[in-house]
Chain A
Amino acid sequence: MFAAETLTGPSIPWFTLSPLLALLIGACVLMLGGSLLPQWPRGLYGIVTALSAATSIVLCFFLWDNLSDGRPETIIGDALAFDHFAVLGTISICVAVLLASLTTSDYLVREGEDGPELFVLYLSAAIGGIVMVAAQDLIVLFLGLETLSLALYVLAASNRRREESQEAGLKYFILGGFSSAFFLYGIALIYGATKHTNLGRIMETLSSQQAFPRNDVLLLAGVGLLLVGLAFKVAAVPFQVWTPDVYQGAPTPVTSFMASAGKTAAFAALLRVSVTALESRVDDWRPVVWVLAVLSLVVGSVLAVTQTNVKRMLAYSSISHAGFILLGVEAASHTGSASAADGIASAMTYLLLYTVLVIGTFTIVGLVAGRGDSASNLTDFRGLGRRRPALALALTVFLLAQAGMPLTSGFVAKFGVIRAAVETSSYAIAIIAMLASVIGAFLYLRIMVSAWMEDAEGQDAAPPVPFLSGLAVTAAVAFTLVVGIVPGWLLDATRQVITLAGR
């Protein structure tokens, strides 16, 4: 028997955890309130979710401010990191929850299935994502990953009337489980090699050259498996196989959430693990990231062009975006270079900007797809410019931004990662990235041409734009343009994320 005093737990900085708690409280309110009060007024579930995400974002701003005075640190017995990096990741995920919950609310009303379940799942997925973003320990990271993933599996399958949705959920679940197993085994191998799961300890162990052998197969195999798990979540080629089916099959608002929050969490984890714990092994994992990036860029943009379903196109486009973000990761791996930090900053900025873009795009796709979420072929977009000029205009802004057109946020994002790659002398990959963006532009143009220039026959019904979705789209357009025209403030702010806790 242990005496009570031997079991002193670590001190818990409640305020630092407040963004997580805000989401948790929101989830509890929805779950309890949802079961106690049989039916809430229309749209209220979504609004409560959006409010708790907004609260979380506001709290993040306070934390950001506190951090600017103090130093990054690790909390709760080194389980989580508290630094600008984590706070920015949290903000991105909360923005995803905020926007996605607004559009999901309208989606559920349209499908006649308004209820709290999806929102609770969003919030718990977000909690998992935030844990991933801040995890300073591989086990904690795994915990976050599973929390996020399990929620996403259910979300993908949440439309019970559409077989595609069921199928997407099941496929995602099976393949996700498969990759989680690799991930977990990777953790075990790394633990076996270093006797630690804490990122800081692993870094210390690995960097003491004499104590630790340079070529430890056990460790390197573990690193490889760890990368597999994360590459699966970010949908990097060749671990992208699930993406087109799942993105196409899942309900559209869920797809947008998956593409934004899921990617952000997994990329943040990838960055943190690789540049802290595995810093001394960059030469081993950099080539892998390089290959993943190139494959994602090329496969994503080439295959996107051959698609005819817009959701599927955007799935491939998200794969190509993952390639761009990997460009930032690759740049961050040049730890000797002064510009390596730019890689971290540009990748995290990309994630925030992409979150807004992709949700904006998918929201419009969802509105056009209409009841049953079925009309998402390229031909369904014909004549949108005439039927709903404002919606078509917003779609154009998002697509131009995804293509990386100057004066939109997408340009700032792409310019940032390519610049980081150039500054770390990774010229080959930068040139490939530019080629990919050249090819990719064609895909976005195809959708725009469909919306503006082709007239629809027999499609005169203008898709209704409910208030909350309209609000989300308007906010996303404004953000996309403001950041595109005056990106300075954002870039200055995000430059602070380069100091990671415990590094």
Chain B
Amino acid sequence: MLDVVWLIPALPLAGFLLLVLFGRRLNEPRAGYLAAATCGGAFVVTVLAFFDMLSKSGQQRSHVVEVFSWIPVGSLEVKMAFLADPLSITMALFVTGIGTLIHLYAVGYMHGDPKFSKFFIYLNLFAFSMLMLVLGENLLVTFLGWEGVGTCSYFLISFWHTRESAATAGKKAFVTNRVGDWGVMTAMFLAFASVGTLSYKGINDAAIGGSLSHVTATAIALMLFIGACGKSAQLPLYIWLPDAMEGPTPVSALIHAATMVTAGVFLMTRMNPVIHEAYTWAPMIIAVVGAATALFAATIAVAQNDVKKVLAYSTVSQLGYMFLAVGSGAYIAAIFHMITHAFFKALLFLGSGSVIHGMHHEQDMRRMGALRKLMPVTAVTFIVGWLAIAGVPPFAGFWSKDEILLYVYANNRGLYVVGLVTALLTAYYMTRQVIMVFFGEARWNDHSEEHGAHGDFKPHESPRIMLLPLVVLAGLSIVGGALQLPFTKDLHFLEKWLEPVVEHGEAYIKGSWAYDNKYLLMGVAIVVAVAGIVVAVGVYDKKKLKAVEPEILANGWFYDRLVSNFMGGPGRRAFDAVAWADANVVDGAVRGTGVAVRSTSGIVRKLQSGFVRAYAAVIALAVLLMLVWFVYRGIA
């Protein structure tokens, strides 16, 4: 079964092609079902491959499937090949699994949209690209997927491009992601220059065998991290993710919460031997950036009023957690948290989408409240997601967060404190959200006149096709922790499964104080989570405490505005200056061709205005400089 892993990306690709050709004719809802079916097919293949792999022993679990030799030239051979190993299959399982659920949900959510089939074209293309990314045998195939998901993300964010904000958000995502892409490209060529291959096995073997110098390994690790910062929305490149919520909600759930944004974490895990070989300050940088992002985003989430914005900042914060784990050498914990986060964050996003759908596209939490009676299924599943992300046992998020904190404590206690504070804030802002949306008094009646067209406005529960994914994800959010329970070695399923991939880079904490006292740490984590919930209940439900929502937090520490002001101010001016210099000094005829020529009588006058003379002057000056250089070479 492992030989057919190429089918996993091929099925969504086939769906994409079919929809491109016949999408318009299929129309609603068949186009959506076709897309969901191809994604579901990929899921089935992945499950079969998973069981096939289970039947093999540790070392045989890494299987390369070569489709064709892509770039064979001289010393370099890059294959279009897939690597099926525990890590890639894990990723593929949740990408296809959650992907299928979200495809189904989208059939309901996008109902009536004039571009219904186009939406699924992008969604299938995204699934294909994401699977190329995780299944790639070498950096180049991954990079292909990396670019692909970025492009799809761009198109999907600006899907409703008639909204000005959506178009701007798409552009922002594209630009910030390009910064990251540059990092990945550079890392790729660095790896190639020093190891002579682009395959993960080759690079990682070189790192394990010690033939990669510490300097090179550090450079590769940091360049990859720049790439990861862009794609996974870390400081200082996170600004695109909150804006990306302009896209349809299924997109937010699939791309900007569950799958694409975790690509950075995946790539770091994939290359863990290289990070291990880097100077120790390199992983420290990763951990510090992760911790800083986690805390920073969590403080912002505390004061957001848009139901999706809270979740967006929360995603940035949780991704910071994953990088904190990566930097602490806790790769298994990072992947563990990635999986549980995919469950509960997809659930929360889809839940919020269901709320938005039921509220007729109202996203402001101040106009919600008391929705639990009107939207019972959404409310219950959302509450499950809330408990999971807040870190309440036995929900999935508790176990993965706890595992990360354990490793972080062993690595650096200062970062552990940051992690705890973040956990406290997480529990607080999520409780705030649940109360504002589902409890308290109904505030939507006050504003019903704004929805005048609807007459007497009443939120309604979403159709079944949207509720089914919610229920499935809620189930997974409850039991997901069972993948890796800390009690006895026998329960470390994920650890045993991923061990062949991460054994070189994984930190060894057995025997440390933290490991010996892990139940104490667990207790601390529970206390912190409960404290966050209790405070939030006190503030927003019982109204005993005054809400603290300073403007600086609501505005995201003004960081976004700072960047925009810079881009719109000095940055824009710098760009304009270049363009002006080009237009007026070097390239005098830019405007001339259009305006001056037509208004003047002909070419002769135009020449007299000195444009060609200016060009000739530039050339003459350049010639002079060149001659100076060569004469200098001659004399020296």
Interface residues in chain A, defined as those with a beta carbon under 8 Å from any beta carbon in chain B: 163-164, 166-167, 170-171, 174-175, 178-179, 182, 215-217, 219-221, 223-225, 227-228, 232, 238-239, 241-242, 244-245, 248-249, 284, 287-288, 302-303, 306, 342, 405-407, 412, 415-416, 418-419, 422-423, 425, 427, 430-431, 434-435, 437-439, 441-442, 445, 453-454, 485-488, 491-492, 495
Contacts and interface: CB of A to CB of B under 8 A. Distances in A.
Given A445-B174, A453-B158, A303 B593 contact: no
B548 interface: no
Interface string B97-112: 0000000000000000
A182 to B, nearest CB: 6
B623 A225 contact: yes
B616 interface: yes
A488 B186 contact: no
B70 interface: yes
Contacts of B178: 438-439, 441-442
Contacts of A163: 597-598, 602-603
Contacts of A217: 630-631, 634-635
Given A288-B626, A488-B72, A491-B73, A221 B631 contact: yes
Contacts of A303: 578-579, 582
B619 A232 contact: yes
B619 A179 contact: yes
B557 interface: no
A238 B618 contact: yes
B189 interface: yes
Contact of B616 (A178, A284, A422, A488): A178
Contacts of B68: 486
Interface in B325-375: none
A468 B407 CA distance: 66
Nearest to A298: B578
Nearest to B68: A486
B615 interface: yes
Contacts of A418: 189
A454 B597 CA distance: 31
A174 B606 contact: no
B619 A216 contact: no
A435 B182 contact: yes
A492 B607 CA distance: 50
A288 B629 contact: yes
19 contacts: A163-B598, A166-B603, A167-B597, A225-B623, A238-B619, A238-B622, A288-B626, A288-B630, A303-B582, A405-B147, A419-B189, A437-B185, A438-B181, A438-B182, A442-B178, A445-B154, A453-B155, A453-B167, A495-B74
A284 B618 contact: no
B612 A175 contact: yes
B593 A227 contact: no
User: What are the nearest 6 A-B pairs in CB distance?
Assistant: A217-B634, A220-B630, A224-B630, A306-B579, A406-B144, A241-B615
Nearest to B587: A244
Contact of B147 (A306, A406, A423): A406
Contacts of A435: 182
Nearest to B69: A488
Contact of A167 (B73, B575, B603): B603
Given A241-B586, A241-B614, A438-B179, 7 more contacts: A167-B593, A174-B612, A422-B189, A425-B193, A454-B161, A486-B70, A488-B70
B74 A228 contact: no
A437 B578 CA distance: 18
Contacts of A179: 619
A480 to B, nearest CB: 16
B563 interface: no
B626 A406 contact: no
B186 A419 contact: no
Contacts of A249: 593
Given A164-B597, A423-B193, A175 B603 contact: no
Contacts of B179: 438
Contact of A495 (B73, B143, B155, B633): B73
B465 interface: no
A193 to B, nearest CB: 10
Nearest to B579: A306
Contact of A248 (B73, B175, B579, B593): B593
A302 B633 contact: no
A415 B198 CA distance: 13
B623 A228 contact: yes
B71 interface: yes
Given A224-B626, A238-B618, A287-B629, A442 B147 contact: no
Q: Which of B68, B189, B582 has the most CB of A within 10 A?
A: B189
B567 interface: no
A227 B626 contact: yes
Interface residues on B, range: 35 or more
Interface string B132-166: 00000000100110010000001100100100000
Contacts of B453: none
B192 interface: yes
B619 A221 contact: no
A280 B631 CA distance: 17
Contact of A419 (B76, B158, B606, B631): B76
B616 A175 contact: yes
Interface in B577-636: 578-579, 582, 586-587, 589-590, 593, 597-598, 602-603, 606-607, 611-612, 614-616, 618-619, 621-623, 626-627, 629-631, 633-636
A299 B634 CA distance: 30
Nearest to B604: A170
A188 to B, nearest CB: 14
Nearest to B576: A306
Interface in B242-282: none
B72 A434 contact: no
B615 A407 contact: no
Contacts of A182: 623
A491 B71 contact: yes
A427 B623 contact: no
B67 to A, nearest CB: 10
| Most chain A CB atoms below 10 A, which of B70, B73, B582, B593 | B73
Q: Which of B147, B175, B626 has the most CB of A within 10 A?
A: B626
A220 B345 CA distance: 66
A488 B71 CA distance: 5
Contact of B590 (A228, A244, A412, A441): A244
Nearest to A416: B73
Given A406-B144, A495-B73, A241 B618 contact: yes
Nearest to A241: B615
Contact of B578 (A215, A225, A306, A442): A306
B164 to A, nearest CB: 12
Contact of A216 (B69, B143, B634, B636): B634
Contacts of B193: 422-423, 425, 427
A310 B543 CA distance: 60
A166 B603 CA distance: 8
Contacts of B606: 167
B45 to A, nearest CB: 22
Contact of B575 (A178, A306, A485): A306
Interface in B417-445: none
Contact of B71 (A174, A238, A412): A412
Contact of A487 (B70, B161, B597): B70
A215 B619 contact: no
A182 B624 CA distance: 11
Contacts of B192: 419, 422
Contacts of B621: 238
Given A164-B597, A419-B192, A438-B182, A171 B73 contact: no
Contacts of A405: 147
Contact of B189 (A244, A342, A434, A441): A434
A437 B70 CA distance: 22
Contacts of B154: 445
Contacts of B158: 453
Contact of A431 (B72, B143, B186, B615): B186
